[in-house]
């Protein structure tokens, strides 16, 4: 049963400067203001650079409800899950939300001692129950995939997320469970550092034969009617990446890539990855992309094994709209997935539009956004790890010269 909402949290400095309203991120960008003084052209205030460490989480009132996301079918998480839930309910007197399928695990449902605690839990089912206005913050137990799953549960505003490293990689999970009591207490008391992880708003359109898109010689999309030449069938909020690939076909994928209505290139190869800065350290980096800090407002476009030696990954501003369609001469269909889920086929005439979402994921930091990121690069990806060069003294150098 889902109880009525009792209070809403207030988040300080959690709205990204590149997306504060409107249907697209670019709608909220403050335009450059030009003024003419003494016959000279000048630019007025145009850019405000915010220190990532200044983004903090505060509460109007102490949080009362928490969503605990546990990796399914992982026996190693049973004891941490039980310990955390007992702490939240008995010590912190909080309302705990969990997925119904988590409590259906025989190792949990068969535990008589823990059963008295679960009777006070509020349960929900994915895609059936809306808990977006019921949860103050989220605690994830698992790996990076657990955080991605938590993001998918909220298609609009996302509560702050606290992720504990109990999975495989742990790039997005900075907290260690050994100190969970003090760390959770600090979050409940407020003033925790956060990083706003931008998401992608993705819409999939299917072909509408009454409104067929066509492209002129300049690469401009022309239509016989509305701008969106198709029927909207699905919308997703993506934290890591959108992947368009050739699927089971042995042929190369062949898709056209548009930016703000202009055809910029055709991607021929195994596919293309459109990722957020958070996703730049996932599939994209394996495909040769650069790694971008989550605070950078950008969208990355990375080809997968392109049939061209000069096709390098590119970074575009967060405010643009990307559109992906099958090329007219494509020999096969393509397949698209969103953070590795909801995989579906894209046929001729279908289209995918991608913009920066106005609903980022506020991820609670262990220290601060910069230190946490570089710590993850070092610990998880072993960034720039090599054997150090031996020191040569001046005497040894002179001997070597002789």
Annotated active-site residue 368? The verdict is no
Count, residues in the chain: 402
Is the four-CA dihedral 340, 128, 130, 201 of positive or negative sign? Answer: positive
Q: Which of 144, 245, 339, 372 is catalytic?
A: 144
Nearest to residue 299, comparing CAs of 245, 259, 336? Answer: 259
Q: CA-CA distance, 41 to 392, in Å (whole number)?
A: 57
Residue whose entry in the numeric block shows the structure tokens 């003090």: 182
Nearest to residue 256, comparing CAs of 320, 329, 361? Answer: 329
Q: CA-CA distance, 164 to 162, in Å (whole number)?
A: 7
User: In which element (H, E) is residue 197 found?
Assistant: strand 192-197
Q: Which tokens is 244 given?
A: 């368009």
**Helix 180-189, helix 78-86: angle, nearest 10:** 40
What does the CA dihedral 132, 59, 373, 22 come to, rounded to 10 degrees?
Answer: 50
Q: Which tokens is 379 given?
A: 């610990």
Residues recognised as catalytic: 144
């Amino acid at each position: 049963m889902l109880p009525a909402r009792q209070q809403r949290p207030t988040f300080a400095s959690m709205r990204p400067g590149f997306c504060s309203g409107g249907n697209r991120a670019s709608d909220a960008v403050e335009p450059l203001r030009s003024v003419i003084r003494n016959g000279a052209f000048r630019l007025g205030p145009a850019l405000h650079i915010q220190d990532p460490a200044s983004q903090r989480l505060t509460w109007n009132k102490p949080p009362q409800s928490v969503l605990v996301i546990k990796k399914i079918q992982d026996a190693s998480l049973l004891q941490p899950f039980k310990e955390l839930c007992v702490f939240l309910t008995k010590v912190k007197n909080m309302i705990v939300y969990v997925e119904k399928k988590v409590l259906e695990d025989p190792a949990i449902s068969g535990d008589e001692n823990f059963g008295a605690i679960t009777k006070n839990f509020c349960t929900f089912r994915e895609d059936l129950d809306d808990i977006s206005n019921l949860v103050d913050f989220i605690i994830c137990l698992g790996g990076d995939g657990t955080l991605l799953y938590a993001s998918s549960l909220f298609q609009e505003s996302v509560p702050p997320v606290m992720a504990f490293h109990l999975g495989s990689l742990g790039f997005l999970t900075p907290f260690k469970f050994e100190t969970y009591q003090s760390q959770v207490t600090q979050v409940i008391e407020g003033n925790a550092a956060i990083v706003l992880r931008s998401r992608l708003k993705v819409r999939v359109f299917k072909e509408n034969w009454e409104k067929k898109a066509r492209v002129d010689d300049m690469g401009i999309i022309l239509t016989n009617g509305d701008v969106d030449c198709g029927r909207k069938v699905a919308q997703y909020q993506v934290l890591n990446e959108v992947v368009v690939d050739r699927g089971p076909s042995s042929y190369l994928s062949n898709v056209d890539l548009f930016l703000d209505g202009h055809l910029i290139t055709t991607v021929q190869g195994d596919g293309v990855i459109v990722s957020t800065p958070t996703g730049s350290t996932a599939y994209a980096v394996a495909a040769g992309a650069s790694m971008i800090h989550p605070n950078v407002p950008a969208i990355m476009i990375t080809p997968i094994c392109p049939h061209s030696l000069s096709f390098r990954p590119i970074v575009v501003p967060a405010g643009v709209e990307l559109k992906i369609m099958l090329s007219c001469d494509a020999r096969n269909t393509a397949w698209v997935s969103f953070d590795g889920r909801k995989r579906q086929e894209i046929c001729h005439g279908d289209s995918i539009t991608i913009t920066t979402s106005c609903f980022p994921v506020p991820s609670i930091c262990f220290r601060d956004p910069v230190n946490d990121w570089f710590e993850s690069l070092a610990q998880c990806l072993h960034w720039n790890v090599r054997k150090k060069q031996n020191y040569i003294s001046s005497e040894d150098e002179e001997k070597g010269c002789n």
